[in-house]
């Protein structure tokens, strides 16, 4: 049930009413589990079946030998089961190729296995829970109810943010009373999320999708601009989703982790991964990079850890060549940047005055943004041939045509889309800070008018221009 | 020290101000202008006011109150925008043609639109059920059952040609007694069509269901339709439709070749994904084809389970039929012709039909063999010749000719305007009078037996019905007045409409359905009276009025209803219908000389409209044996009766041709009606 569907809207409304009408904490937890399971089962019972299977594996592994710490073998067994399940469901069709042929209409086994919603995300949470138990990071007694809700909690389970057990499970012990300020703040966050998704990301998609579909018919400049725009599309799409998840959690009285902190303000890959999909980056760091040694050993070992971490991140998104390449390119660029930083440190360039740093900072930022957009291009394309063709065109000036670019972007409906996107972008950044203010803050009262303006503009835009139930979230497929 | 707590007066004032502000924002008057219903227009603002009063009284809920106030502002902006747009900018309103249903959409009822394009100008009108009807047809006419149901997309909907030029309408020329329902809607695919059939179409109980497939776009994007919020918004708001139309729908002028070229696309990826002729198949295309197969099989299964037969009509694209268009897309879109398989969808459909035992009418060869151009030049749809071609192809199908157990009638009427009650003019073997709907009421006409020369006899604003001419053809008697109010008179006039005089000339006496005797001396009709004090209407009884003496003879009593008297050719007997037995209509024979009355049909169902042959040996009547009206022939000598027609329509008002070889009658077949002719078998 995608967040941008009318069915979710109705589900969430009814769920919230039921959730707050029931006074008993135990029943509230029960409703949360049932609601979460309904959220998965809505798209097909097999989506729920896989969630239940991962829950069962996680719970059984976590419960054995309660008196002692979890053994390494048991941990590996648990992780192995989850990873196998993840690989089988997510990558079976790719790995097995055409054999056996997948026939979705006849309900064969592979059709049933076809990518259960959220499996990439709740699998990571399950592994995180087992590792934290093994390492003793999570020591609280764990019930089946805790594990079930931790893995299925619908505001975040389908596409993140990814939580550690210690961040989420304790919140289930104190399910909230109705607090109107929380509810209102959550609703505004949801509204902001929809605004980012429906008005900015979806409208960018409408402009650039025809270009990506027929890249060979367009000039290099048009492709270049579409690559830059895609960086914004993926950001606003995923950020929008995360905001909705945070808002839904907040309405129900839960604190959901922030996943993005202005990632395109970063001017280095290291900084970028502290701002982009923060919870995934953190998971990769804690459960892949650090166990592989991180930067505690030799430089070669560090390079190896970085490569593996980014490749796993790429494979996690998909096993097609573009995701592998995307992970690999990120690893290379990250390492190159690290080498440069080390060299600068060796030569003392990092001691440059703040003033000099400020002069170069915009160039550094712009260069980084071009590079990150290039990596998104790898992420977006489907095969090496298309990628090569697009990049060749983009970097061959004689393939640029200003008139063709102008005709495409500034005529017909596209000029309207660009106008809507630009205005929405300004509104989103200029006004959105007001909805993120803490509920106790006096800012809430002082900025009432601006806040109301934001709410009204968002609502009007979404009602009139947002195609609710239209394009799915990009990260819903991962 | 100032008191910071508001006084009661201040609080009351604030509440009053809030209520007033909300009522201004969601003004019931504006609400009523927009939604047009009084109760919700009053109820919704009251609920909102109540909600605010509740919220402002509770400090804990104040943040929600503020948010709700924002929502009310937004609602108010939209409400006022809708009202202003609807009433001030009517020229900009984009008419909405469709109602969104569950997983499909269908025509709105009572549409009356004109579609203008550089290639066509078409009147698009629908009846109360949303089925397309002719420009002059009555939108209140419903269809409850069908012989043949056509489901399909814009090629069947045919909004580029007039209703009468649709291939489904042309079929009426070949199969006039079939109830043919056209449920084609632009943009519908196999999944929509399946859902239309299971939710609505199957209720018509058609014996044959025709599924029109076009290679143009039926094999791409085969997904279950999901309606977004904007679809519902556009359905209900003129303002939203105006704002969103440009976002949702492409302007044909902006298309790559200035025309719709589906399934050919300028880029390879789209061709791989959507073009059914393109040999390379993406996962998307494979999934579409699997979905197509799945829903085709489901539809075939459902149609079979309903006891009907599914027939597929496959329409080729312009590119399949004309090289010119194929060359245009290949050249302009830089498509490698060797990668195309132009027969693929036809082979695919043939295999699917074969596997599911479904009849398949592949129109590719019929279209390519036709010399004339069957499509519009810019628009992708069929022109009049294209529709004509499909009708011919369907008429030539083997099943069609085998489906006429009772003989095929001929349609005589030229218009679908409720022609009824044909009666041959006395003394003229080639002319008949009839009634027809014109200018808002029924008028009388006289025409030759082919309806090629038609003359209107009456011109006024009152209904004139049931014409009957004198044996010498100089006079005409008919019913005049409001039939539904039982306020009708029997009128006698010259055949040209002059010298009008009333047979039922008393104020409280009414009459209807008169008939001359074969000598022209008497008129029989049904007469009833209205009690002066109570207004009570008596049952109609049969009366014979002697034109020579002005005397009336009453044949039946008013204890029961009696109608529609006719004389036997020798004027010795009278036939009429009466509810004398079991309160249902039977045909009675009354011998004038001895007053003996005989029930000659005596059946458990109603009979109406007796007509007698010139030799007095045969009587035809309409009988409701199967729930609808069919014609029956009764041999008066043997009392044996035979069905003359057996259809889902209603056949009424029979009359023998002067030669006795044909029966002319009026009928309604679904949305079509008129006067028909059928030959009498020996």
**Are residues B495 and B475 in contact, defined by beta-carbon separation less than 8 angstroms?**
yes
* B365-418: pLDDT as tens digits: 999 988 889 999 888 899 999 999 999 999 988 665 545 556 788 899 988 888
**For A468, which of B70, B229, B246 is closest by C-beta distance?**
B229
* A165-204: pLDDT as tens digits: 888 888 888 776 778 888 888 888 898 888 888 888 988 9
Encoding tokens for residue A47? 């989506």
Model confidence at A112, pLDDT cuts 50, 70, 90, reads: very low
- With CB atoms and an 8 Å threshold, state whether B227 touches A465: no
- DSSP lists the bridge partners of residue B664 as B655, B677
Q: Which of A363-377, A394-408, B185-199, B511-525 comes out lowest in average pLDDT?
A: A394-408
Residue A113 or A446, more confident: A446
- With CB atoms and an 8 Å threshold, state whether A216 touches B246: no
Interface check A413 vs B, CB under 8 A: yes
Output the average pLDDT for chain A. Answer: 81
**Integer Cα distance of B396 and A470 in angstroms:** 45
Q: What are phi and psi of B120, to 5 degrees?
A: -155, 160
| pLDDT score of A438 | 47
What's the average model confidence in pLDDT over A365-392?
A: 88
Could you give the count of Cα atoms lying within 13 Å of A244 in the half-sphere of its Cβ?
25
- DSSP lists the bridge partners of residue B537 as B530
- DSSP lists the bridge partners of residue B544 as B524, B553
Contacts of A465 in chain B (CB under 8 A): 243-244, 247
Encoding tokens for residue A467? 């195609």
- DSSP lists the bridge partners of residue B312 as B211, B360
**For A448, which of B66, B251, B269 is closest by C-beta distance?**
B66
Residue of A nearest to B268 (CA): A214
- Domains of chain B, residue spans: 8-88, 98-401, 410-679
CATH architecture of B410-679: 6 Propeller (2.120)
**Are residues B258 and B326 in contact, defined by beta-carbon separation less than 8 angstroms?**
no
Q: H or E element: which one contains A441?
A: none
**Integer Cα distance of A195 and B27 in angstroms:** 28
**Integer Cα distance of B176 and A410 in angstroms:** 56
CA–CA–CA angle A119, A124, A127 (5° rounding): 120
- Domains of chain A, residue spans: 6-173, 180-260+401-477, 263-394
Contacts of A446 in chain B (CB under 8 A): none
Contacts of A183 in chain B (CB under 8 A): 63-64
List own/partner pairs for B559-565 with CB under 8 A and 24 or more apart. B561/B585, B562/B526, B562/B588, B563/B512, B563/B513, B563/B526, B564/B513, B564/B526, B564/B608, B564/B609, B564/B610, B565/B513, B565/B515, B565/B524, B565/B525, B565/B526
Model confidence at B344, pLDDT cuts 50, 70, 90, reads: very high
Residue of A nearest to B266 (CA): A214
**Are residues A231 and A373 in contact, defined by beta-carbon separation less than 8 angstroms?**
yes
**For A103, which of B64, B244, B290 is closest by C-beta distance?**
B290
* B122-168: pLDDT as tens digits: 999 999 999 999 888 889 989 999 999 999 999 999 999 999 999 99
Q: How many residues does chain A have?
A: 478
B226 pLDDT exceeds 90? no
- With CB atoms and an 8 Å threshold, state whether B226 touches A105: no
Residues 6+ apart with CB under 8 A from B578: B542, B556, B560, B561, B562, B563, B585, B586, B588
Interface check A71 vs B, CB under 8 A: no
| pLDDT score of A92 | 66
**Integer Cα distance of B369 and B362 in angstroms:** 13
Residues 6+ apart with CB under 8 A from B200: B101, B106, B183
% of chain A exceeding 70 in pLDDT: 85
Match domain B98-401 to its CATH number in 3.40.50.1110, 3.40.190.290, 2.30.130.10, 3.30.1310.10.
Answer: 3.40.50.1110
CA–CA–CA angle B399, B208, B162 (5° rounding): 95
| ipTM of predicted assembly, 2 dp | 0.74
Gyration radius (Cα) of chain B, Å: 32
**Integer Cα distance of B123 and A337 in angstroms:** 69
What's the average model confidence in pLDDT over B471-483?
A: 92
**Integer Cα distance of B92 and B117 in angstroms:** 18
Model confidence at B513, pLDDT cuts 50, 70, 90, reads: very high
| pLDDT score of A99 | 41
- With CB atoms and an 8 Å threshold, state whether B63 touches A216: no
Model confidence at A109, pLDDT cuts 50, 70, 90, reads: very low
Encoding tokens for residue B198? 């299971």
Residue of B nearest to A98 (CA): B283
Contacts of B243 in chain A (CB under 8 A): 464-465
What residues of chain B have any CB closer than 8 angstroms to a CB in chain A? Answer: 60-64, 66-67, 69-71, 73-74, 77-78, 226-230, 233, 240, 243-244, 246-247, 251, 254, 265-270, 287, 290-291, 293-294
* Mutation choice for A interface testing from B56, B61, B62, B74 by most A CBs within 10 A: B74
* Mutation choice for A interface testing from B229, B245, B272, B352 by most A CBs within 10 A: B229
B93 pLDDT exceeds 90? no
| pLDDT score of A458 | 85
Interface check A470 vs B, CB under 8 A: yes
**Integer Cα distance of B175 and B418 in angstroms:** 19
**Integer Cα distance of B592 and B578 in angstroms:** 17
Model confidence at A439, pLDDT cuts 50, 70, 90, reads: very low
* B314-334: pLDDT as tens digits: 999 999 999 999 999 999 988
């Amino acid at each position: 049930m995608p967040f941008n569907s009318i069915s979710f809207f109705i589900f969430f409304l009814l769920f919230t009413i039921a959730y707050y009408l029931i006074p008993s904490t135990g029943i509230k937890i029960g409703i949360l589990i049932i609601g979460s399971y309904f959220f998965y089962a809505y798209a097909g019972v097999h989506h729920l079946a896989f969630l239940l299977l991962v829950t069962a594996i996680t719970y059984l592994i976590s419960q054995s030998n309660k008196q002692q710490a979890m053994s390494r073998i048991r941990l590996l067994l648990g992780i192995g089961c989850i990873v196998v399940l993840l690989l089988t469901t997510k990558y079976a069709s790719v790995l097995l190729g055409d054999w056996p042929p997948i026939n979705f209409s006849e309900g064969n086994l592979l059709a049933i296995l076809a990518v259960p919603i959220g499996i990439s995300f709740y699998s990571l949470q399950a592994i995180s829970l087992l590792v934290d138990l093994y390492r003793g990071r999570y020591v609280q007694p764990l019930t089946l109810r805790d594990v079930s809700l931790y893995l299925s909690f619908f505001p975040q389970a389908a596409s993140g943010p990814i939580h550690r057990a210690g961040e989420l499970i304790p919140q289930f012990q104190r399910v909230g009373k109705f607090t109107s300020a929380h509810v209102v703040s959550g609703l505004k966050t949801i509204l902001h999320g929809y605004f980012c998704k429906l008005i900015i990301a979806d409208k960018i998609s409408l402009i650039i999708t025809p270009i990506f579909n027929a890249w060979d018919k367009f000039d290099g400049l048009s492709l270049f601009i579409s690559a830059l725009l895609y960086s914004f599309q993926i950001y606003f799409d995923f950020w929008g989703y995360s905001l909705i998840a945070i808002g839904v959690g907040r309405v129900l009285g839960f604190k959901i982790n922030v996943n993005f902190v202005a990632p395109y303000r970063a001017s280095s890959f290291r900084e970028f991964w502290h701002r982009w999909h923060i919870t995934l980056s953190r998971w990769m760091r804690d459960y892949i990079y650090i166990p592989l040694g991180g930067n505690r050993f030799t430089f070669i070992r560090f390079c190896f850890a970085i490569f593996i971490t980014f490749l796993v991140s790429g494979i996690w998104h998909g096993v097609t060549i573009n995701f592998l390449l995307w992970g690999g390119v990120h690893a290379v660029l990250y390492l190159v940047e690290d080498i440069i930083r080390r060299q600068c440190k060796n030569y003392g360039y990092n001691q440059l005055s703040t003033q000099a740093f400020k002069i170069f900072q915009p160039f550094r930022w712009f260069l980084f943004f071009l590079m990150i957009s290039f990596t998104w291009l790898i992420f977006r394309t489907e095969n090496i041939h298309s990628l090569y063709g697009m990049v060749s065109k983009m970097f061959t000036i004689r393939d640029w045509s200003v008139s063709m670019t102008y005709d495409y972007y500034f005529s017909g409906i596209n000029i309207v889309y660009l106008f809507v996107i630009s205005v929405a972008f300004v509104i989103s950044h200029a006004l959105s800070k007001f909805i993120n203010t803490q509920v106790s803050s006096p800012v809430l009262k002082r900025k009432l008018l601006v806040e109301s303006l934001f709410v009204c503009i968002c609502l009007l835009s979404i009602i009139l221009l947002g195609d609710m139930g239209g394009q799915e979230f990009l990260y819903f497929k991962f | 020290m100032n008191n910071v707590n508001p006084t009661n007066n201040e609080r009351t004032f604030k509440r009053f101000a809030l209520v007033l502000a909300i009522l201004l924002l969601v003004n019931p008057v504006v609400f009523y202008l927009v939604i047009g219903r009084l109760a919700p227009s009053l109820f919704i603002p009251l609920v909102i006011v109540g909600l605010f009063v509740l919220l402002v009284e509770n400090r804990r809920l104040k943040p929600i109150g503020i948010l709700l106030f924002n929502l009310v502002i937004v609602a108010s902006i939209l409400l006022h925008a809708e009202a202003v747009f609807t009433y001030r900018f009517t020229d900009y309103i984009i008419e909405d043609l469709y109602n969104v249903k569950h997983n499909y959409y269908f025509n709105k009822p009572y549409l009356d639109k004109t579609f203008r394009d550089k290639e066509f100008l078409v009147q698009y009108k629908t009846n109360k059920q949303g089925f397309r009807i002719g420009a002059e047809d009555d939108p209140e006419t419903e269809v409850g059952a069908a012989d043949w149901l056509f489901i399909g997309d814009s090629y069947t909907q045919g909004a580029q040609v007039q209703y009468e030029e649709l291939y489904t309408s042309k079929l009426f020329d070949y199969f006039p007694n079939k109830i043919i329902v056209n449920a084609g809607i632009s943009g519908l695919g196999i999944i929509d069509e399946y859902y239309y059939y299971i939710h609505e179409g199957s209720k018509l109980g058609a014996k044959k269901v025709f599924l029109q497939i076009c290679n143009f776009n039926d094999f791409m994007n085969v997904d279950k339709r999901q309606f977004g919020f904007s679809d519902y918004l556009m359905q209900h708001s003129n303002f939203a439709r105006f704002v969103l139309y440009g976002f949702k729908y492409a302007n044909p002028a902006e298309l790559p070749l200035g025309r719709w070229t589906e399934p050919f696309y300028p880029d390879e990826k789209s061709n791989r994904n959507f073009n059914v002729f393109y040999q390379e198949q993406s996962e998307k295309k494979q999934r579409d084809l699997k979905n197509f197969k799945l829903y085709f099989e489901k539809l075939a299964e459902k149609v079979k389970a309903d006891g009907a037969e599914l027939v597929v009509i496959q329409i080729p694209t312009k590119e399949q039929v004309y090289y010119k268009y194929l060359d245009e897309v290949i050249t302009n879109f830089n498509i490698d012709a060797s990668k195309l398989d132009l027969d693929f969808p036809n082979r695919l459909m043939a295999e699917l039909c074969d596997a599911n035992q479904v009849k398949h009418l592949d129109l590719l060869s019929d279209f390519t063999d036709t010399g004339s151009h069957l499509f519009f030049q810019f628009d992708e749809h069929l022109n009049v010749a294209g529709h004509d071609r499909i009708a011919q192809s369907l008429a030539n199908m083997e099943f069609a000719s085998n489906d006429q157990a009772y003989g095929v009638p001929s349609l005589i009427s030229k218009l679908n305007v409720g022609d009824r009650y044909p009666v041959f003019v006395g003394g003229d073997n080639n002319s008949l009078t009839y009634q027809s709907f014109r200018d808002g009421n029924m008028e009388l006409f006289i025409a030759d037996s082919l309806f090629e020369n038609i003359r209107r006899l009456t011109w006024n604003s009152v209904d004139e019905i049931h014409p009957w001419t004198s044996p010498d053809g100089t006079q005409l008697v008919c019913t005049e007045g409001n039939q539904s109010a039982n306020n009708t008179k029997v009128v006698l006039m010259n055949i040209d409409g002059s010298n009008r005089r009333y047979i039922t000339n008393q104020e409280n006496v009414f009459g209807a359905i008169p008939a001359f005797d074969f000598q022209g001396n008497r008129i029989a009709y049904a007469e009833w009276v209205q009690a002066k004090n109570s207004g009570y209407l008596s049952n109609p009884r049969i009366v014979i009025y002697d034109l020579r003496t002005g005397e009336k003879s009453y044949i039946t009593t008013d204890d029961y209803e009696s109608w529609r008297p006719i004389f036997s050719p020798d004027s010795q007997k009278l036939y009429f219908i009466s509810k004398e037995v079991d309160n249902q209509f039977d045909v009675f024979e009354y011998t004038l000389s001895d007053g003996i009355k005989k029930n000659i049909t005596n059946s458990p169902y109603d009979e109406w409209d007796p007509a007698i042959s010139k030799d007095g040996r045969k009587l035809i009547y309409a009988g409701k044996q199967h729930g609808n009206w069919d014609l029956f022939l009764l041999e008066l000598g043997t009392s044996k009766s035979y069905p003359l027609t057996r259809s889902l329509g209603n056949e009424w008002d029979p009359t023998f041709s002067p030669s006795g070889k044909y029966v002319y009658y009026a009928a309604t077949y679904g949305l079509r009606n008129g006067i028909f002719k059928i030959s009498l078998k020996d």
